[in-house]
């Protein structure tokens, strides 16, 4: 396979690549039930609370006890 074709495939894969992010919301800080939030509203709230993670970052935060599963909920959302 020629170099040009390899580069074209890599560029195509980059354009199509998506990432999973973990958005965590502290339900004690909400005025409505988290179930009522659209994905966009949930993302905005998680960003406002400073709780947006990559999968690896979430794993580390959860394992280090930074996530309180008794009051915090999460959504895993695929982004471009």
8 in a structural domain: no
13 in a structural domain: no
Structural domain boundaries enclosing 31: 18-79
pLDDT above 60 (res 15)? no
Q: For 38-71, give the DSSP string.
A: -HHHHHHHHHHHT-EEEHHHHHHHHHTT-S-TTT
36 in a structural domain: yes
pLDDT at position 59: 92
In this predicted model, what pLDDT tens digit does every residue of 32-58 receive, in sequence order? Answer: 999 999 999 999 999 999 999 999 999
7 in a structural domain: no
53 in a structural domain: yes
């Amino acid at each position: 396979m020629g170099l040009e074709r390899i580069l074209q495939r890599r560029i195509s894969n980059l354009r199509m690549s998506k990432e999973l992010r973990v958005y965590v919301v502290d339900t004690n800080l909400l005025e409505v039930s988290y179930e009522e939030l659209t994905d966009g509203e949930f993302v905005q709230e998680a960003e406002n609370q400073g709780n947006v993670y990559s999968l690896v970052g979430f794993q580390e935060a959860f394992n280090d006890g930074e996530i309180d599963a008794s009051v915090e909920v999460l959504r895993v959302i695929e982004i471009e």
